[in-house]
Amino acid sequence: MVRNLGVRGRRPGETFLRVFDPGHGIEKSARWRINGYEVRLVIWSPDEWADLQERPIDAQFHPSGVWCALRAK
């Protein structure tokens, strides 16, 4: 997008950078549907992961430094 900015130019009234403000606390999971089934991605920070009594065996470490696991209902 930034590459094309010089070619297309800026749109009137549009700012260059937008910051998402959810207006409330950020959830520790993301929810969506895969093939019609409700799923969620549960995310733990390194500190939360260290404090867990029982760690999920299917959790994976993400290169961004968090642990995550996919859960289907």
What's the pLDDT tens digit per position in 44-61?
Answer: 999 999 999 999 999 999
Distances (CA, A) of 53 to 7, 37, 49, 59: 54, 29, 9, 14
- Domain boundaries along the sequence of the chain: 2-72
Query: Is the pTM value of this prediction over 0.85?
Result: no
Q: For residue 12, what pLDDT is reported?
A: 67
How far apart are alpha carbons 37 and 30 in whole angstroms? 14
2-39 pLDDT, tens digit each: 555 555 566 666 656 666 565 666 566 778 888 888 88
CA separation for the pair 40, 31 (Å, rounded): 4
